[in-house]
């Protein structure tokens, strides 16, 4: 009896090991997937560029960053964006870096859209599904061609200039004459002075733009944060994690009054966790249905206090839901 019981246990263990061995390649493949290395923007005031005439500027779009790897769109975190096949059918076989964008102030819409599986959604035909119909308004605004059109078998991208890289895409699109495509190369304009730069920033901000991006013309595409690619806004913004809700007072007695955020920062070479409250910037709708605990939000602020706390922190939008 004891011998039979051991045999049964052995057979069950063997079955379990065989099942694990069968799934091991998929497990290793899933674990090996890493977010793509992409160019990241540095704050203009931290970079302090010496010669602005070496840069060009364009509007900073408040969309979803998307990398086209020649076959599919993926986020900067490595998640596949299941866009309609009709949306990407005329995309090139080489890599692109850009932004999926609907329009100014529409970040929440595009964020919700890319989280849906819309592989088989129509691009143009009328639809009763709001997520399907929204794809008709989405454009892919490209600001770089990382591999400069080289074959994927080559290990290192050609160190060509920004405009040389973008010309690869423009040449490809010119061959698609007469065909509708959702790709739009972002237009850049020269900078003559810092005075002109900030005047342009103020004009765009009044129109609802998020800010400006500055790119160094002769710099290669870099897969890191660089002084050759800068962001400039009338305010600063960053992300934090929601860890608590607090009820309000008066007219907000039954709604969200404020929330507590948590953020990892590095000060004087040491890492520490910063916790602070944000109580402004919420609409009535957002106070009724606040960002859930565990979500990542973007907030605006204007410098730091002497204790390192963001000054005048204001809710901007939900960046990522748990």
Q: Which residues are catalytic?
A: 60
Q: How far is residue 37's CA from residue 67's CA, in Å, rounded to a whole number?
A: 10
Q: How far is residue 257's CA from residue 275's CA, in Å, rounded to a whole number?
A: 17
* Encoded tokens for 234: 């009338």
* Token pair 């290669």: residue: 220
Residue by residue, DSSP assigns 14-47 as: HHHHHHHHHHHHHHHHHHH--PPP--EEEEHHHH
Question: Which among 165, 142, 106 is positioned nearest to 317, based on CA atoms?
Answer: 106
- Is 214 exposed, middle or buried (CB count within 10 Å of its CB: 0-12, 13-18, 19+)? buried
* Token pair 């308004």: residue: 137
Contacts of 221 (CB under 8 A, 6+ apart): 39, 97, 144, 145, 146, 148, 157, 165
């Amino acid at each position: 009896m004891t011998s039979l019981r051991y045999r049964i246990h052995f057979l069950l263990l063997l079955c379990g090991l065989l099942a694990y061995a069968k799934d091991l390649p998929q497990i290793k493949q899933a674990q090996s997937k890493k977010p793509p290395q992409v160019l990241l923007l540095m704050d203009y005031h931290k970079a302090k560029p010496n010669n602005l005439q070496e840069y060009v500027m364009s509007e900073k779009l408040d969309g979803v960053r998307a990398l086209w790897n020649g076959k599919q769109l993926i986020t900067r975190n490595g998640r596949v964006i299941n866009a309609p096949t009709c949306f990407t059918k005329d995309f090139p076989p080489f890599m692109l870096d850009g932004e999926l964008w609907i329009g100014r102030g529409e970040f929440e819409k595009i964020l919700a859209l890319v989280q849906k599986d819309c592989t088989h959604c129509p691009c143009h035909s009328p639809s009763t599904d709001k997520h399907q119909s929204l794809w008709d308004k989405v454009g892919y605004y490209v600001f770089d061609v990382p591999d400069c059109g080289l074959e994927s078998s080559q290990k290192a991208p050609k160190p060509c200039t920004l405009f040389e890289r973008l010309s690869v895409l423009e040449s490809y699109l010119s061959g698609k004459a007469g065909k509708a495509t959702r790709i739009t190369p972002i237009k850049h304009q020269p900078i003559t002075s810092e005075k002109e730069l900030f005047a342009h920033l103020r004009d765009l901000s009044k129109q609802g733009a998020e800010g400006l991006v500055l790119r160094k013309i002769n710099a290669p595409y870099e897969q890191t944060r660089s002084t050759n690619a800068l962001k400039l806004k009338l305010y600063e913004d960053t992300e934090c994690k929601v860890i608590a809700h607090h009820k309000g007072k008066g007219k907000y007695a039954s709604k969200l009054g404020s929330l507590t955020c948590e953020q990892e920062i590095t000060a004087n070479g040491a890492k520490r966790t910063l916790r602070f409250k944000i109580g402004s910037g919420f609409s009535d709708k957002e106070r009724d249905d606040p960002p859930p605990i565990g979500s990542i939000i973007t907030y605006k602020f204007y410098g730091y206090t002497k204790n390192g706390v963001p000054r005048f922190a204001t809710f901007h939008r939900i960046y990522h839901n748990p």
